[in-house]
Amino acid sequence: MTASATAWIGLGANLGEPRAQVLQALAALEAHESMCLLRRSSLYRTPPMGPPGQPDYINAVAGIATGLTPEALLEQLLTLEGRLGRQRQGERWGPRVIDLDLLCYGNEQRHSDFLRLPHPGISERGFVLLPLAELAPGLVIPGHGRVRQLLDRLDVSDIEMIEAA
């Protein structure tokens, strides 16, 4: 693999065995021939965003190096979700077996029907910013600012680290 960019991937699950599924997804990222896992965050328990009555999520963030384009990387993440048992049924922010989000890709900013970079809502999501700040507090999210400064604006008191990296 020829690495050309650093990308940040958000991982989350709240159905089945969420901890195991997030760890399995991290292992799949590490084993992927087009990705090199650079770092991974601790695991965090977070309240669900979206429809009420869902179980808590287990969330993490991974930093990877890749030679894939952002679109090709997103395709690979969607394929990986399917291999790990995710069936997209259209309920926005509903419960899921695994969720892999392309958060940032270098300094790219894109807006298409298929891909938005950075990921929409990243600057308001503590379940993304807290694990991302663990890995890269000085990272500048294009169009938003530094991760640590964005995190400092949020109340993350309901997010709990459950397993250190």
Residue 152: active-site member? no
Residue 155 known to be catalytic: no
Which residue is catalytic, options 40, 45, 86, 125? 86
Out of 40, 45, 83, 101, which one is annotated catalytic?
101
Is 99 tagged catalytic? yes
Instruction: Answer yes or no: 96 catalytic.
Output: yes
Distances (CA, A) of 73 to 5, 17, 56, 78, 98: 11, 25, 27, 9, 17
Strand blocks (E) in the chain: 5-13, 35-40, 43-46, 57-66, 99-105, 110-111, 116-117, 140-141, 145-146, 160-163
CB of 42 closer than 8 Å to CB of 164: yes
| Annotated catalytic residue within 99, 110, 152, 158 | 99
Catalytic residue among 19, 56, 83, 96: 96
Task: Tell me the CA distances in angstroms from 157 to 99, 127, 138, 145, one per residue in order.
Answer: 23, 11, 21, 22
Active-site residue set: 86, 96, 99, 101
